[in-house]
A and B are shown apart, each in its own frame.
Chain A
Amino acid sequence: MKIRNTEHREEIVLQMTPMIDIVFQLLVFFVFTFKIVLPEGDFNIRMPSSSASQASQPSETPLLKVRLRADADGELAGVQLNDNQFSGENPFLQLHEEIRSMINDAGGPGSTDQEVEIEADYDLKYRYAMNAITAITGEIDDNGEQHKLVERVRFAPLGER
């Protein structure tokens, strides 16, 4: 009797082309939708409307007023803390040092309920206001750790000037 060879000796060839097509489609999709996301961060500020805050929380410490003046182009023309005018190259650094010395005198950084009000000229570029907030609210030490200085920051109401 003749025995039939039932074993198929054919090699199974995997079709790579459709897979590679799909993979390239995916790759192209991801490449085109890729967008470098710059890290962003926030300054969290609790700013109730001025009438409500004055009525509810009478502060024991006197309010510090930071005045930011702008020139005609919106560039920074002067920084002032209460009656203390800062001039020179890094007015915000001086402002920071001044506030830090005041806070240190009054019982260590971070432990204060000191409030700072920023009064800026209308046309002043916002980045200077951001610099002022940075100078007021904290500092980064040599180890890269963040220390809080003054947490209560608010803008002066626009109508007052």
Chain B
Amino acid sequence: MRIKSRGNTGIVEGDLTPMIDMTFQLIAFFMLVINFSDVEQDQRVQLPASELAKPPSAPYEQPLTIHLTKNDEYIFGGKEMTELSLLKSALLREVQIIKRYTSKKLADVTVIIRADGQAKTGQVQEVIQACQELEFERFALRGKQSDVSTIGGK
């Protein structure tokens, strides 16, 4: 009797095309939304919201970013500081670098202040005052954008 070979010896290959299509779509999506320039963002700071906070029309030229957390800590240049005097000396070093290596005036340098909504206003003022003593004039108080009115209007 002749025995029929039942076993299918051919390799069964699933159709991979839709999966690869999807995967490429996903990669394209993530590549587009990835943002490497968010180094100045810090998750330890929860910004206060404001409907008028608008993104800068042009990026600042070499801004200085000072973060203020709700635990009264300052973060500047990636370092956490608990004392205002430490922040002042770090700023002074920055000022010397700007003066020595660039032709910019300190009054044209923007100091971005990212303070937590729960931080003390007095501390923000102290930071501003410390910067003013070093002849900085431009400040950008950063807030989270909001679609609804934060002052109770419509």
A126 touches B152 (CB 8 A): no
A48 touches B48 (CB 8 A): no
Closest chain A CB from B50 CB (angstroms)? 5
Q: Which residues of the other chain, A, contact B24 by a CB distance below 8 angstroms? A: 23
Stretch from B31-39, B74-82, B95-103 that touches the partner: B31-39
A40-B23 in contact given A16-B16, A121-B122 (Cβ < 8 Å): no
B124 touches A39 (CB 8 A): no
Label chain B's interface by main secondary structure. mixed
B51 touches A127 (CB 8 A): no
A146-B52 in contact given A30-B30, A46-B138, A124-B122 (Cβ < 8 Å): yes
Q: Which residue of the partner chain A has the closest CB to B68? A: A126
Does A12 lie at the interface of the complex (its beta carbon under 8 Å from any beta carbon of B)? no
Interface size on B, residues (CB 8 A): 58
Does A103 lie at the interface of the complex (its beta carbon under 8 Å from any beta carbon of B)? no
Point out the residue from A27, A42, A93, A125 that lies within 8 Å of B141, measured CB to CB.
Answer: A42
Contact with A along B54-78 (1 / 0, CB 8 A): 1110000000000010000000000
A123 touches B122 (CB 8 A): yes
A41-B55 in contact given A121-B122, A126-B119, A129-B124 (Cβ < 8 Å): yes
B141 touches A130 (CB 8 A): yes
Point out the residue from B122, B145, B151 that lies within 8 Å of A93, measured CB to CB.
Answer: B151
B133 touches A125 (CB 8 A): no
Q: Which residue of the partner chain B has the closest CB to A157? A: B129
Q: Which residues of the other chain, A, contact B132 by a CB distance below 8 angstroms? A: 47-50
Contact with A along B127-142 (1 / 0, CB 8 A): 0110011010111111
Can you give 7 A-B contacts (C-beta < 8 A)? A40-B55, A43-B50, A93-B153, A126-B121, A126-B124, A127-B118, A130-B117
